[in-house]
Amino acid sequence: MSRMRAVGILSTGSCVPERVLTNADLEKMVDTSDEWIVTRTGIRERRICSADEASSDLAYQAAVKALEKANVTADELDLIIVATITPDTLFPSTACLLQERLGAKRAAAMDVSAACTGFLYGIATASQFIATGLYRYVLVVGVETLSKITDYKDRNTCVLFGDGAGAALLGPVPSGFGFQAFDLGADGSGGPLLQLPAGGSRIPASHESVENRLHYIAMAGREVFKFAVRVMSSATEAVLAKAGVSKEEIDLLVPHQANLRIIEAAIKRFGLSEDKVVVNLDRYGNMSSASIPVALDEALAAGRINEGDTVVLVGFGGGLTWGASLLKWTFQRL
């Protein structure tokens, strides 16, 4: 068997809608307050799509930025993976729509559905194609328009979610750099804790399903919170162990942006200083599969990642799913 190639992230890009929905705006919509939202979540505002914006629109903008930064053209792409739970349509996939819009005529295309863990599942899948030599360039986009499936009459969930897209271009890098380990997991027994009940083959769309508001996100908040705190730590510990890296060697942690208290619990557990953790959920809320790539793109733009840094990406989401990845960052490419 030939030696596996080292794979890394060559570039990133992101896109968020222009419209800002603040906590003050939500106070006028449901029985809530800025103090209540900030205290329990850390969120102050989030971005919301316009009525005519879809996931593929945000994905396209993020993808173009990532390709431009890497000086790679769309027709050089071998594969496009879009991680989303809010596709434009059930089929064709949003990845196929993005492929056509980019003009990536050589690229295969598929969607990945792992909720907030989707981007991590996407990069883990992409890296295998490159490591084996089957493909050279794979574009992974995490995109959500959660406002389309958020119930703005439910005070417990409507304060949490926002829209956005983050893209990463993966390709070969020098040996010793790039992805060092992945840890992916799932527990389907927790599926009912976070779901979109209707719209699939179990509960097809009907007058009854619409009247009962079954086409909106349904979440058992307390149970999901306990799961998230536990798995954020365990997934990080697992990927550190697989890579043979100690927690003291982490230069930057990029966690899924769901709740500030969950992130703070991870910071405390791993003894990290705040400057080693990326937090932007105060501005964007929970963007599901888009949250990690958007946070990563912003960290790179702010100069928070240097050559040789150990970067950990970790997330959790509906399914229930979780995942973590550890990279030895490089700005070099082959």
* pLDDT per position as a tens digit, 155-185: 999 999 999 999 999 999 999 999 999 999 9
pLDDT at 302 over 90: yes
Mean of the per-residue pLDDT values of the chain: 97
**Rounded distance, CA 101 to CA 173, Å?**
28
Whether residue 160 is found in the same domain as residue 231? no
Is 162 found in the same domain as 194?
no
Domain ends where: 145, 175, 205? 175
Q: Tell me how far the alpha carbon of residue 224 is from its chain's centroid.
A: 17
CB 322 within 8 A of CB 235: yes
Our measurement of the distance from residue 118's CA atom to the centroid of its chain's CA atoms, rounded to an integer in Å, reads 6
The pLDDT of residue 3 is 81
64 and 166 together in one domain: yes
Share of the chain above pLDDT 90, in %: 99
Mark whether 159 and 190 lie in a shared domain: no
Question: Between 226 and 1, whose confidence is greater?
Answer: 226
- CB contact at 8 A, 50 and 17: yes
Residue 102 is assigned to a structural domain of this protein: yes
Best CA proximity match to 250, nearest among 191, 304, 312? 312
Of 140, 175, 210, which marks where a domain is finished? 175
Among candidates 274, 254, 229, 268, which has minimal Cα distance to 324? 254
Shared domain check, 103 and 16 = yes
Task: For residue 155, give the DSSP letter.
Answer: T
> Has residue 69 been placed in a domain?
yes
Looking at residue 1, what is its pLDDT?
40
294, containing H or E segment: helix 291-301
**30 and 153 fall within a common domain:** yes
pLDDT at 118 over 60: yes
Asked if residue 51 is part of any domain, the answer here is yes
Residue with tokens 């929970």: 286
280 lies in which domain range? 179-328
Q: In what order do the strands lie in the sheet with 79-83?
A: 7-15, 163-172, 138-145, 79-83, 108-112
In a domain, 121, yes or no: yes
Residues 37 and 141 in one domain: yes
- What are 28-77's pLDDT values in tens digits? 999 999 999 999 999 999 999 999 999 999 999 999 999 999 999 999 99
Beta bridge pairs of residue 323:
184, 315
Please say if 286 is a catalytic residue: yes
Q: What is the pLDDT of residues 197-240, one digit of tens each?
A: 999 999 999 999 999 999 999 999 999 999 999 999 999 999 99
Does the annotation mark 116 as catalytic? yes
CATH number, residue 115: 3.40.47.10
Do 183 and 169 reside in the same domain of the chain?
A: no
Q: Considering 49, 158, 256, 259, which one is annotated as catalytic?
A: 256
Known catalytic membership, residue 207? no
The DSSP output letter for 183 is E
State the total domains in the chain. 2
- Annotated catalytic residue: which of 15, 49, 96, 116? 116
Instruction: Read off the pLDDT of residues 234-282 as tens digits, 9 standing for 90 and up.
Output: 999 999 999 999 999 999 999 999 999 999 999 999 999 999 999 999 9
On the question of pLDDT at 24 being above 90, the answer is yes
Examine the domain organization and report whether 119 and 199 are in the same domain.
no
Please check whether residue 333 lies inside any domain of the structure: no
In this predicted structure, what is the pLDDT of residue 2?
A: 57
Measured between alpha carbons, how far is 196 from 151 in angstroms, rounded to an integer?
Answer: 11
Backbone angles phi, psi at 53, to 5 degrees: -95, 140
216 and 239 fall within a common domain: yes
Q: What is the pTM of this model?
A: 0.98
Both 188 and 320 in one domain: the answer is yes
> In this structure, is residue 324 part of a structural domain?
yes
CA gap 208, 214 in Å, rounded: 9
| Domain assignment of residue 215, yes or no | yes
Q: Which of 175, 190, 205 is the last residue of a domain?
A: 175
Instruction: For residue 105, give the 3-state DSSP assignment.
Output: coil
Please state, in angstroms and as integers, the Cα–Cα distance from residue 236 to each residue in 93, 193, 320, 324, following that order. Answer: 31, 22, 17, 6
Torsion of CA 186, 177, 277, 155, to 10 degrees: -30
| Same domain assignment for residues 113 and 189 | no
Distance, in Å, from the CA atom of 257 to the CA atom of 251, rounded to the nearest integer, reads: 18
Q: Is residue 334 part of a domain?
A: no
